[in-house]
């Protein structure tokens, strides 16, 4: 199993940056793919980015490509989401999720078994 805790959210002006962290515990973290999702009020929980266990291959939603960077440090059991050039439409609650089945990376929330509580990101215009 994997336990996840997100941090780093906050209020930022458009064009600014934030760095989210997802701290994980559990025996299977180092083999888990980690995904970031976001959910705005009244909307679906959407895929943002994911990274496989080795950290070598990142995956991004088209809406964040070139602005967000996902990385992981398995020695610290932490995954990061660096968010640059933030836009008001990036406002949402951001969740990290883990899939420790060693299958292909999923772009769907249903592909992940473990979730954190989320951290709020608000981008003002």
Residue 64, CB-side half-sphere exposure with 13 Å CA sphere: 25
Q: Is 67 strand, coil or helix?
A: coil
Task: Give the pLDDT confidence score for residue 9 in this predicted structure.
Answer: 98
73-100 tens-digit pLDDT: 988 999 999 999 999 999 999 999 999 8
Q: 68 or 100, which is more confident?
A: 68
Q: 31 or 6, which is more confident?
A: 6
The token duo for 22 is: 């997802």
Task: Give the pLDDT confidence score for residue 104 in this predicted structure.
Answer: 86
14-32 tens-digit pLDDT: 999 999 999 998 877 777 8
Task: Give the pLDDT confidence score for residue 102 in this predicted structure.
Answer: 81
User: For residue 42, how far is the Cα from the chain centroid?
Assistant: 20
94-118 tens-digit pLDDT: 999 999 888 888 999 999 999 999 9
Task: Give the pLDDT confidence score for residue 32 in this predicted structure.
Answer: 85
* Length of the chain measured in residues: 125
Average pLDDT over residues 28-52: 92
Cα-Cα-Cα-Cα dihedral sign, residues 89, 18, 2, 55: positive
Q: Residue 42: beta bridge partners?
A: none
Q: Is 88 strand, coil or helix?
A: helix
């Amino acid at each position: 199993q994997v336990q996840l805790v997100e941090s780093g959210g906050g209020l930022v002006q458009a064009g600014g940056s934030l760095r989210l962290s997802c701290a994980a515990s559990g025996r299977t973290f180092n083999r888990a793919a980690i995904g970031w999702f976001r959910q705005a009020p009244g909307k679906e929980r959407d895929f943002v980015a994911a990274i496989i266990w080795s950290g070598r291959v990142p995956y991004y939603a088209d809406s964040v490509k070139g602005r967000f960077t996902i990385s992981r440090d398995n020695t610290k059991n932490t995954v990061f989401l660096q968010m640059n050039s933030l836009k008001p439409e990036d406002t949402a609650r951001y969740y990290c999720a883990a899939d420790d089945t060693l299958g292909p990376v999923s772009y769907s929330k249903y592909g992940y078994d473990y979730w954190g509580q989320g951290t709020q990101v608000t981008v003002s215009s």
